[in-house]
Amino acid sequence: MMKVLYTSTDTGVDSAVGRLLDSFPWRELLPAGQDILVKVNLTWDYLRPGVNTSPWVLEALCRRLKEHTGKIYIGESNQVLVNASKAFRIQRMDAVAGRQGLIWHNFSENGWKQVTVDGLTFSIPEICTKMPVVSIPVVKTHYRSTISVAMKHLYGCLNDGRHNYHHRLSDYVVAVNKAIPVSFVCADGTVSLEGNGPKPGIPKKTDFIALSTDPVALDYSISQVMGIDPGSVETIQKGNGKVGFCSDVENVCIPPLLSIPSFHFTRAEPNFVARVEKRIRGTGRQQSRENDGPLIGIMKAGAKRWYNLSYSVFGQKREADKWKKSLPYGPQWRGEQEDT
């Protein structure tokens, strides 16, 4: 039976993370004194609640892990439109790293190792093969994978050209989860994202965190929390039995949480940029290419300008500023530490 632990962050993130870890034998999974990698989600180099791993969950978790482990590296890859190092700074993870002695590691600027899994050949960061990995995904919807939590999160370990794998997204998601087994996953559900994720969706204050050693079980459980049928999530179905199990999942509530959270998340639909990309890529043999064609290169420049424009014109920046002021977690987006 695979356990998924939940607790509320209503009384503070730091104490919530402490309750989860106190209920979970994490020290048995991470060798004492060994360096570890914490994989975060840095999907967008703009500040928008629910899009990226929050600095408050990262800090609360690493503050405890460092008492047992060696050095802690924080890792993520660039994307076709996103500079992960810039996102690291904008999300104010740099302030967390400074306080807690963490080391930023941009996968795209360091070594890679080519692997073949289930007939798929791709590269993963070398650092993932050298030390245990802990994963901190965000809870959000995704127009390609329905949800983006534990399993889809590891897709970010692929290189900058991973958009060329979209035609077989679920297969690559399962393959990379097989190639990079994680010690455990701590899902950040403090502020989630619904609607047109993974970037310009709708922030949703959900005030929970969840933890499990099994990414399939965690995705299965959290999809139900989101009000989404796990049977409609292809990554869960394809990953079941390969990188985890969605049968006999036991949800465990850590007080003061008395029952599993329950929400209704609006599903994602392809945004303008995604629809244009699909038309350019086409189907069949064109979909199977591993490298960008000339039109995709043109689209990159246009898409970046589109996101720049939409962030300001469509009010996403103003909305983010309001969330910074209203959220109990907001001060950490100014580089401040949670009052524990």
User: What is the rounded average pLDDT of the residues 99-114?
Assistant: 97
Q: Which one-letter amino acid corresponds to residue 109?
A: E
Spell out the residues 6+ positions from residue 117 whose beta carbon is closer than 8 angstroms to its own: 175, 176, 178, 179
Instruction: Give the residue from 84, 77, 242, 226 showing the smallest Cα distance to 165.
Output: 77
Residue 47 within any structural domain of the chain: yes
Cα separation, 212 vs 214, whole angstroms: 5
Residue 284 banded pLDDT, cuts 50, 70, 90? very low
Convert the pLDDT of each residue in 56-71 to its tens digit. 999 999 999 999 999 9
Residue 103 within any structural domain of the chain: yes
Cα separation, 264 vs 225, whole angstroms: 8
Whether residue 173 is predicted with pLDDT greater than 50 in this model: the reply is yes
Residue 216 banded pLDDT, cuts 50, 70, 90? very high
Q: Between 196 and 115, whose confidence is greater?
A: 115
Q: Is the dihedral of CA 293, 296, 298, 304 positive or negative?
A: negative
Average pLDDT value for the chain = 89
Residue 339 within any structural domain of the chain: no
Residue 180 within any structural domain of the chain: yes
Residue 340 within any structural domain of the chain: no
User: What is the rounded average pLDDT of the residues 280-297?
Assistant: 51
Q: Between 205 and 200, whose confidence is greater?
A: 205
With beta carbons less than 8 A apart as the criterion, state whether 320 and 49 touch.
yes
The predicted pLDDT at position 309 comes to 73
Residue 253 banded pLDDT, cuts 50, 70, 90? very high
| Tokens representing residue 36 in the block | 């570890």
Strands 184-194 and 249-253: unpaired
Cα separation, 23 vs 12, whole angstroms: 17
The predicted pLDDT at position 287 comes to 43
Convert the pLDDT of each residue in 255-268 to its tens digit. 999 999 999 999 98
Residue that the structure tokens 């990309």 belong to: 277
The predicted pLDDT at position 254 comes to 97
Q: What is the percent of the chain where pLDDT is above 90?
A: 71
User: What is the rounded average pLDDT of the residues 289-305?
Assistant: 59
Q: Can you give the CATH number for the domain in which 304 is found?
A: 3.40.50.11440
Q: Is the pTM of this model over 0.95?
A: no
The predicted pLDDT at position 163 comes to 75
Cα separation, 42 vs 33, whole angstroms: 27
User: What is the rounded average pLDDT of the residues 236-240?
Assistant: 97
Three-class SS state of 88: helix
Whether residue 303 is predicted with pLDDT greater than 70 in this model: the reply is no
Q: What is the percent of the chain where pLDDT is above 70?
A: 89
Q: Which one-letter amino acid corresponds to residue 51?
A: V
Q: Which domain holds residue 193?
A: 2-334
Indicate the number of domains in the chain.
1
User: What is the rounded average pLDDT of the residues 266-279?
Assistant: 68
Residue 16 within any structural domain of the chain: yes
User: What is the rounded average pLDDT of the residues 299-303?
Assistant: 63
The predicted pLDDT at position 331 comes to 83
Convert the pLDDT of each residue in 5-46 to its tens digit. 999 999 899 999 999 999 999 999 999 999 999 999 999 998
| Tokens representing residue 65 in the block | 């892990």
Strands 2-8 and 202-212: antiparallel
